[in-house]
Amino acid sequence: MELKPGLSAFVTGAASGIGRALALALAQKGIFVTVVDYSEDRGKEVALLAQNENLKFHSGLKFPSTIFVKCDVSNKGQVAAAFDKHMQVYGGLDICINSAGIVTPILFAKDQTDGSNSWRHAVNVNLLGVIACTHRAIQIMEAAKKPGVIINLGSAAGLYPHIADPIYSASKGGVVMFTRALALYKKKGIRANVLCPEFIRTEMGELVDSRFIERMGGYVSMENLIKGAFELITDESKAGSCLWITNRRGFEYWPTPTEEAKYLVVPSRLKKRLTSVINSNVKIPQSFEKVIVRTLSHNFRSATSIVRAPLKLPIKPGHVLFKVIYAGVNASDVNFSSGSYFSGSKEEIRSRLPFDAGFEAVGLIAAVSDGVKNLKVGTPAAIMTFGGYAEFVMVPSKHILPVARPDPEVVAMLTSGLTASISLEKAAQMESGKTVLVTAAAGGTGQFAVQLAKLAGNKVVATCGGKDKAILLKDLGVDRVIDYKEESIKNVLKKEFPKGVDIVYESVGGDMFDVCLNALAVYGRMVIIGMISQYQGEHGWKPRNYTGLCEKLLAKSQTVAGFFLVQYAHLWQQHLGNLVHLFSLGKLKVAVDPKSFVGVQSVADAVEYLHSGKSVGKVVVCIDPSFSQQTAKL
Ligand code: NAP
């Protein structure tokens, strides 16, 4: 939602502290504000100040640009009346900020009362008041069928225990979980998010021991708080999001995708449905076609052949027969066909020939060996073993990754998605509030890197070559797209990011490596994902020298970290579950290149297409169109 004059906002707890600051900040954007508080004098004063701000944007209004409504949010009648008043004056509701909150008036450990004026009241204001206002705001927004945003004020004390005030912690923890659980209202255009600042210098914040505040990195500035709230309002991807703001870690969305993956499970409903429908249709032929590497070359087409192989039954113990529906195309297919994936002398590598090509696929389990109990025929699954460019693959059952659907988007999440997800966490050690630069950003893996960096609360700069790619990247939420066909990457970085970028997700290599390294900030981390520009030199991959690399890294305490997905297999299932979950929530988009490649015959065309620089998103080969059509209908 763009913050623009003419919107209206309802802000509780607006007479002081955070509520006051947010009410005034909204008014400065020309937004009509209802200042809601039980404190009349101070509330009226804020309403007056807000009016001075937003009146500049409006002339000849027949209604006040700001109003004050006295309201105790723990009183349901007063809450209803306050919303009625807002609607009567402004006729609609775009933003609702629930900021009213109190500390527990009597120390819990010493409280001898029945809690009516202490802990019960704190829960009523901090949690029930927020629920009541959110409930009413949703009703109004739903009825209007217009987009709306609700920002609830949680607290860092709602993310970890605040020992000095257990009731405050409990009520704020409730606000956090309540708001996160509202994520699906996004489908109706209503986005509820929760803001969890650490200590802010307000009347409430000043009650906390200053030594403790110092240990926590000092007070969070009101400026950052407002920035966080505005991010939650304006960023359309944020729904059920929880933004934790500290001085120590900056802006961080909680839980991180990795934390979230620990408790999320892939929905089994679809899995069951697919299994029952497809079960009977997987026919096992006597032979099948596959792409093999028969001579070592970085020219994929001349290195490979299509062969028909017998389907040997019975299946080896501990194995399953996997039917491929979609196979994913990767930049590194040409490195695999030139033998670079194997260690040893040229002779030793040559002795492996012929070997099966392809890194990844989605499809169905066609048959299982007797000992395999945990997998059933018809189950949709993914594989990330060699040999994906085939109609069938025999795979050890432990290498099967169950997925909800055998779709092209899921193939994209395998090598490409997992590389971005795992490397940003492990090699880049990505946090929030940083600037992240992604190269080849509209490609298979780049598209995931930009979105995950955005979802984690970072500013994202992305490079690409071409208008279509630039459009995709804008759509994925990239803050600054640099189309190198239109402008110089080096100049843009120098001019617009003079302090440098904190993280680089680099996969192009060659001159791009130099440009990125020179743009890295002090303490910056650059992750080497690949070097696609070097893969297909005249004689194959030519390693480069980087003169002065050590000196540059030393001078700015920088890190250059390598990342190779194969070494992180223990994290695949967890990160895949998380990517699928983000996708199902609509928080992650997956771009699959629209060019159609069908059957194993088209694999070499698809590999060449990826290296032509024309592809946008993930390049996928549909190995069996009859099955893809069948599953698409489900
Ligand atoms: P991709 O990004 O879809 O590759 C296509 C894009 O790369 C093109 O659209 C083009 O983008 C750029 N490109 C292609 N040829 C180029 C050339 N000769 N010079 C400069 N740029 C060129 O491919 P991908 O499979 O996702 O792989 C991307 C990179 O990630 C590769 O370096 C790959 O090796 C690496 N990777 C590494 C791992 C790992 O475990 N480390 C895993 C997966 C992928 P623009 O022109 O728009 O920049």
> How many residues in the chain?
634
Q: Quick check: CB of 507 below 6 Å from ligand 1? A: yes
Token pair listed for 144: 């209007």
| Nearest protein CA to atom 46 of ligand 1, as residue | 465
Query: Residue 253 pairs with which residues in a beta bridge?
Result: 243
Q: Give the whole-angstrom CA distance, residue 415 versus residue 20.
A: 48
Residue 273: predicted pLDDT = 44
Do residues 331 and 444 touch, judged by C-beta distance below 8 A?
Answer: yes
The answer to whether 609 and 619 have CB atoms below 8 angstroms apart is yes
- What is the atom index within ligand 1 of the atom nearest the CA of 332? 34
pLDDT on residue 281: 60
445 lines ligand 1 (CB under 6 A): yes
Q: What is the DSSP string of 504-546?
A: EEE-S-THHHHHHHHTEEEEEEEEE---GGGTTSTTS------
Going from the Cα of 158 to the center of ligand 1, the distance in angstroms, rounded, reads 42
- CATH code for the structural domain at 8-254: 3.40.50.720
Out of 332, 482, 483, 536, mutate this one to test ligand 1's pocket (max ligand atoms within 8 Å of CB): namely 332
The CA 591 to ligand 1 mean position distance, Å, reads: 15
pLDDT at 212: 78
β-bridge pairing 380-383 and 319-328: unpaired
Mean of pLDDT over the chain = 92
Cβ of 611 closer than 6 Å to ligand 1, yes or no, is yes
pLDDT at 49: 98
User: Ligand 1 pocket test: which of 413, 445, 535, 564 has the largest number of ligand atoms within 8 Å of its C-beta?
Assistant: 445
A 10 A CB-CB count for 536 gives: 19
Helices 511-518, 489-496: crossing angle, 10 deg rounding: 10
Q: Which residues of the chain have pLDDT under 50?
A: 266, 269-280, 633-634
Beta carbons of 524 and 558 less than 8 angstroms apart: yes
* 287-411+618-628: CATH topology: Quinone Oxidoreductase; Chain A, domain 1 (3.90.180)
pLDDT in tens, 428-475: 999 999 999 999 999 999 999 999 999 999 999 999 999 999 999 999
- Beta bridge pairs of residue 390: 290
Say what the pLDDT of residue 628 is: 60
- Ligand 1 atom with the smallest distance to the CA of 565 is 40
What SS3 state is found at 13? coil
Instruction: Using CA atoms of 155, 159, 163, 165 in order, give the dihedral in degrees to the nearest 10.
Output: 40
List the Cα angle 74/77/81 in 5-degree steps: 110
Q: What angle (nearest 5°) sits at the alpha carbon of residue 155, between those of residues 149 and 156?
A: 130
How remote is the CA of residue 205 from the centroid of ligand 1, in Å?
49
Q: What is the DSSP string of 258-321?
A: HHHHHH----HHHHHHHHHHHGGG----SEEEEEEE-S--SSHHHHEEEEEEE--SSPPTTEEE
Same fold: 8-254 with 428-562: yes
- Ligand 1 proximity of 238 Cβ (cutoff 6 Å): no
CA of 207 to the centre of ligand 1 (A): 54
599 lines ligand 1 (CB under 6 A): no
Q: How far is the CA of 485 from the centre of ligand 1 (A)?
A: 17
Tens-digit pLDDT profile for residues 314-338: 888 999 999 999 999 999 999 999 9
Domain at 428-562: CATH code = 3.40.50.720
The DSSP result for 51-85, as a single string, is HHHHGGG--S-SS-SEEEEE--TT-HHHHHHHHHH
Question: What secondary structure does DSSP assign to 86-132, as a single string?
Answer: HHHHHS--SEEEE------SS-GGG--S-STTTHHHHHIIIIIHHHH
Q: What is the per-residue pLDDT for 278? A: 45
The response to whether residue 16 sits with its C-beta less than 6 Å from ligand 1 reads: no
Angle at 356 between CA 351 and CA 357, to 5 degrees: 115
Domain boundaries, the chain: 8-254, 287-411+618-628, 428-562
Q: What is the pLDDT of residue 257?
A: 63
Is the dihedral angle over the CA atoms 257, 261, 263, 267 positive or is it negative?
positive
Residue 537 CB partners (closer than 8 Å, separation 6+): none
533 lines ligand 1 (CB under 6 A): yes
Tokens 């202490």 found at: 118
| Residue 459 pLDDT | 97
Distance between CA atoms of 190 and 477, rounded to whole angstroms?
19
- So what's the pLDDT on residue 497? 98
Give 336 Cα–ligand 1 centroid separation in angstroms: 15
